Structure 1
């Protein structure tokens, strides 16, 4: 079985997606499969996809996520709930009968945070119970908002530099049944979950109000050591590095690639290459995740479906 896939976006040279997906191919003995990268602007996306019909799947990053969902509507492609809600897609796969567009960032955020939560935030008492704070209001913030819903959050406080840019996420919060508010980046109120969707170079240094016992903070940026996470940990929150989200969304993408290629799981399991560093058994997802984390040198605890 040979799969051709690639990551698309601009800039793209820094992307870790080739490292992750190539590690997964190797872990499953799929050495003939290829995962490439292509520098691409939004206006080039449609033509590029049409000129690469042999590729079964694509990972998409900025500035292509919004354009992918628009293109899917124009072409009549299938769009999953999270991509439709957030108006942003990061995955395209070509199956035998249809093209599918998805947003695996939501699952990535959920699986990065869930193992570190001590309880259902909606059932907790006290300040911060059922509340989350999201820094930023862009496409990743929309994914973080849907993830917060899936994690049991009932109210989200958006912290932004320009409140006018928060209209998109405020409208989304209303549509999915969450209450929401907007404030500046000066302080973070008590929250069960805090998610920074800002670039590493734009990370703020807010005033942290009373921490919530068992609270979790995720910084989606992964390019450098996070000063934001260091400060959060000093105030009693459990820090989660952005590499966890990066890997978990990639695992979900890889599963979609295999499904689109109609890979025979039982046959693949019977022929898995042996490895002292990867889990044995019939859980392909666990093996893929372990390979990806190993490629980044640091597997955290994973959530279970």
Structure 2
């Protein structure tokens, strides 16, 4: 470990709601595996109104923060530097405090998603579909900007969301078209489908899964499998779940905050699986 991290050994996840976040389980498992006995990782219920005061109260012992909703955009004005990755989607899920006192924001959801796909052998696709238009959908499009050689189709519920996704595609240089949610089953013809919608939203689509679909990345992880994921699994086609994304983005956070590379992915995944088996964890 470098000297910068010797005096910085505190980290936490912030958000609202936060009580069931799985992040402490994953980060603490990493610390244990890495032998970082003096490191701590906690969770704090913090909304936009209380974020400035919380940040102002942090001392030199803090190494970093993980951020979930509704803070990913709200934190940006308080940072000294924001990575191009985070700027691209206007969302920061990671803050690292440097030795000279700067707060640096990054987004590990995007490289985490790419790492999870690469782990399953998906490194390039000719086209892709995204179900949804929220923050995770934006990260999915940003990831696809790096591995999709053709068109991305986003299936959305409203003209407002469609316009937002089209602007995102233009900003990222992605050939993106939008389609109404009522036609979402058409997405299953794509070689890669990324489902980013809340629990229950894609359940009616489970009956529409074809015999030979491509790869599905369903970012939910509790309950798991979702009906859509179960239908996909029954075909024998490649399937990734929310825990894959959560573990990979958390591993990148651990590396940035502790300076230890690589993070212990296997130990983190095992801890996450145990926690979910016990009914813990509903948010990142």
Please tell me the TM-score bracket, short chain as reference. Answer: 0.7 to 0.9
Residues 93, 256 of structure 1: 8 Å contact kept: yes
Name the counterpart of 1:60: 67
Distance 1:235 1:171, change over 3 A: farther
Equivalent residue for 1:285, pick from 258, 262, 265: 262
Name the counterpart of 1:295: 271
- Which SS does the other structure have where 1:142 is aligned? helix
Name the counterpart of 1:168: 164
Q: Under a length normalisation based on structure 2, what TM-score does the superposition of the two structures give?
A: 0.85
Distance 1:7 1:156, change over 3 A: same
Aligned ranges for residues 123-272 of structure 1 at < 5 Å?
A: 130-186=126-182, 187-189=185-187, 190-206=189-205, 207-208=208-209, 211=212, 215-225=214-224, 226-234=226-234, 237-259=237-259
Name the counterpart of 1:86: 89
Q: Could you tell me how far 1:257 is from its partner in structure 2?
A: 0.2
Name the counterpart of 2:280: none
Name the counterpart of 1:120: 124
Question: What value does the CA root-mean-square deviation take over the aligned residues?
Answer: 2.0
Q: Could you tell me how far 1:18 is from its partner in structure 2?
A: 0.3
- Which SS does the other structure have where 1:100 is aligned? strand
In structure 2, C-alpha distance between the alignment counterparts of 1:221 and 1:15, rounded to whole Å: 13
- Which SS does the other structure have where 1:65 is aligned? coil
**1:109 to 2:105 alignment:** no
Q: Under a length normalisation based on structure 1, what TM-score does the superposition of the two structures give?
A: 0.79
Equivalent residue for 2:15, pick from 9, 17, 32: 9
Q: Could you tell me how far 1:29 is from its partner in structure 2?
A: 1.0
Q: Could you tell me how far 1:153 is from its partner in structure 2?
A: 4.0
In structure 2, C-alpha distance between the alignment counterparts of 1:170 and 1:210, rounded to whole Å: 31
In structure 1, C-alpha distance between the alignment counterparts of 2:92 and 2:141, rounded to whole Å: 15
Q: Could you tell me how far 1:104 is from its partner in structure 2?
A: 0.3
Name the counterpart of 1:303: none
In structure 1, C-alpha distance between the alignment counterparts of 2:77 and 2:186, rounded to whole Å: 34
**1:51 to 2:27 alignment:** no
Residues 23, 292 of structure 1: 8 Å contact kept: yes
Q: Deviations over 1:152-191 (max 9, x none)?
A: 3431111122232232221121122211111223323321
In structure 1, the gaps of 5 or more residues are: 122-129, 260-264, 266-283, 299-305
Residues 117, 123 of structure 2: 8 Å contact kept: no
Residues 132, 153 of structure 1: 8 Å contact kept: no
In structure 2, C-alpha distance between the alignment counterparts of 1:88 and 1:49, rounded to whole Å: 17
In structure 1, C-alpha distance between the alignment counterparts of 2:237 and 2:91, rounded to whole Å: 29
Residues 5, 57 of structure 1: 8 Å contact kept: yes
Alignment coverage as a number of residue pairs: 260
In structure 2, C-alpha distance between the alignment counterparts of 1:119 and 1:52, rounded to whole Å: 40
In structure 1, C-alpha distance between the alignment counterparts of 2:122 and 2:97, rounded to whole Å: 39
